Structure 1
């Protein structure tokens, strides 16, 4: 009975942790995490409501034009709920070009904290309701990028060098009303010039060399299949020759005139 009680208590504790009921990981985001340096400069002058640059290490840098003094950052968990988005290298840029780090945002009356469902960014007290920009770095998954549309407006996603979206199955973009161009650094720019109305954007991409690898594997499979078919046909031909040499396939003419007289 004691073992059953311990097992039940352990399962309950696990459910509590996984559902966030214990509040583990909530509260103010660590200052060192907030003030860390981004891998590259944020694109403040993109002329898009949201600019997202995906890095080769699967992290991405985002710049959002703010239309509210509070921004809620999250990911959908696949079960109808949300999880807080992990952020680092947080910056806020005033309309006049002044840039604050994460701790400076707090010093000016703002806050950056995690709840069970989202990461809440409260801008400084003197931040305008619109016109400023919030930048942060977060993590993603290899070769697939999905993010909720936190702000209404136009979006741009920049892929790492030598990544592509053109080949079906390997490359997919949603929503579909986008334009794609390639810059001098071999980076694909995916632009939604019209305001995005979907709840999220999604980009599945691939390395150019992936197509060569896939093509090589497909060619190898075809060669193995053709070689197997030829071997099978040769084996059949060899067996036929052996049967012929053994007389198995030789038809014997029946010269018998029938049973002896009286037996017919």
Structure 2
């Protein structure tokens, strides 16, 4: 390889590493006010929840979360599937002081900070207080909520209206030590609570009852198609057998002494 080609290869490699964030060349910075100050995707945040972490999963594959925070900052991320992290797409950020006062995301950024790099979003809390609650909206996936446990303690996950988790395989809950039964409220929403979560993540897979009817219909259709295919196959076999008989090809070779001419030639 010539010197010029080697230089081009190194430049290309550096460019790829930079674009992927591996060298921190595009390592991020402050999150924009327009993103921080958006309105929550659903109802107002559950500031009065009695748990340490309250998550409301919405029908449009987003969720609203409220965490009781301690310390000076919170880091928000998802596993990227390769052993690393990717920043959580937080928006509509709010902070509630211990006295109940709520400030929006841009005010929180001014009094503390909200920054993002290639691994995570870091929320720096106001330095003049201890504790409080941090709330935000972020994206989820249809029929499945999964998120790391940013704080230890009690958790509650509320599913969208009309969803269920009671049927095995289609509905799954992890960790499995939730200490109150799944229940529905007046909006037909399932609530799942844990008294003390120490696992690395909380995951809930859920479904709509209508999904099961659709699946049952597809299974029935597949059965009808399978039976129809079998009958067609048997008819074709029978047709070939009749053709062999008509052309004298359906002979019993056990009685053939191999002395005479082939069938039809005698």
User: What's the TM-score once normalised by structure 1's chain length?
Assistant: 0.83
Partners of 1:69 and 1:127 within 8 A in 2: no
Structure number with larger C-alpha Rg: 1
* Counterpart Cα distance in 2 of 1:220 and 1:124: 60
User: What residue number does 2:20 align with?
Assistant: 18
Question: Which stretch has the larger CA shift, 165-174 or 61-70?
Answer: 165-174
Indicate the SS of the match to 2:153: coil
Q: CA deviation at 1:101?
A: 0.9
* Counterpart Cα distance in 2 of 1:7 and 1:216: 55
User: What residue number does 2:95 align with?
Assistant: 92
Q: Unaligned regions of 5+ residues in structure 2, if any?
A: 256-266
Give aligned pairs, total.
Answer: 249
Indicate the SS of the match to 1:95: coil
Partners of 1:91 and 1:102 within 8 A in 2: yes
* Counterpart Cα distance in 2 of 1:232 and 1:53: 53
Q: Deviations over 1:48-100 (max 9, x none)?
A: 11001112221111000112231111112222222222211111112221111
User: What residue number does 1:74 align with?
Assistant: 77
Partners of 2:24 and 2:118 within 8 A in 1: no
User: What residue number does 1:215 align with?
Assistant: 216
Indicate the SS of the match to 1:135: strand
User: What residue number does 2:258 align with?
Assistant: none
Indicate the SS of the match to 2:146: strand
Map 1:6-155; keep pairs closer than 5 Å: 6-24=8-26, 26-39=28-41, 40-107=43-110, 109-128=111-130, 130=131, 132-155=132-155
Question: Which stretch has the larger CA shift, 228-237 or 79-88?
Answer: 228-237
Map 1:151-166; keep pairs closer than 5 Å: 151-166=151-166
Q: CA deviation at 1:138?
A: 1.1
Q: CA deviation at 1:168?
A: 3.1
Q: CA deviation at 1:23?
A: 4.2
User: What's the TM-score once normalised by structure 2's chain length?
Assistant: 0.83
* Counterpart Cα distance in 1 of 2:248 and 2:15: 79
Indicate the SS of the match to 1:206: coil
Question: Which stretch has the larger CA shift, 206-215 or 36-45?
Answer: 206-215
